[in-house]
Amino acid sequence: MLDKAFETLKTYDWGQDRKQLKPIDEAVVSSYGDAAARKDLEAKLAAVLTTDVTYDAKQFVCRQLMVIGKAASVPTLAGLLGDKEMSHMARYALERIEDAAAGKAMRDSLGGIGDELKVGVISSLGVRGEDDSVNTLKGLAGSGNAAVAKAAVAALGAIRSKAAATALASIKPTGDTKAAAADASLACAESLLKAGDKAGALATYKRLLTSDPSKQVKLAATRGMLACSK
């Protein structure tokens, strides 16, 4: 049944009966706790992405790799990051692969993809929340492309670490990026405060108050400083 489902996958589109692929869904579920079976299934799914199957079939595979993908799938998924049709699904799968190789692959891809796709990959790096991405994002925060710069500071805010807060303190955002950087800094400060790093949070709040903040940011930073004193 599983082999037949993979055969169907070669020409699958969303107009076909989804039940034909059910054996693959079931295999993903039943492989839980069976490392050998899951590794074999992952390899079969990743291999599909290297063939000339339909867009819908590749989407289906990426969704499965969101669940069972490991480091072995990273090179294949990373190879799709520059594909306008498949980049978003590939990065969604890479977001969920716990191995650090997934984050590295996304960072490595940034130099070879256009700004439109780059924004999505940057956002996914934020979702992964790795400090290994901080320096890369710090550099991109100075991009001449406003969308890229804004995505980079937002991703630093999503990481919410001390390293991210330090990176945000070192950049000089302008325009819409300035508002995004303020929001990101507040997110980092809130996370630091929650983690018990009152000194780190306080430093961020003080910096925001000296950066000609908006009324909303000034209020949030003032409240944050009061929270740090408790």
Q: State which residues of the chain have pLDDT below 70.
A: none
What local confidence, expressed as pLDDT, does residue 62 receive? 97
DSSP 195-229: TT-HHHHHHHHHHHHTS---HHHHHHHHHHHHHHT
Q: How buried is residue 194: exposed, middle or buried, by Cβ count under 10 Å (0-12/13-18/19+)?
A: exposed
What local confidence, expressed as pLDDT, does residue 14 receive? 84
Read off the pLDDT of residues 61-111 as tens digits, 9 standing for 90 and up.
999 999 999 999 999 999 999 999 999 999 999 999 999 999 999 999 999
Query: How far is it, in rounded angstroms, from Cα 203 to Cα 188?
Result: 11
Q: Are 224 and 198 in contact (CB under 8 A)?
A: no
Q: Where are the domains of the chain?
A: 1-108, 129-230
Q: Are 124 and 106 in contact (CB under 8 A)?
A: yes
Q: Are 7 and 20 in contact (CB under 8 A)?
A: no
Query: How far is it, in rounded angstroms, from Cα 156 to Cα 163?
Result: 9
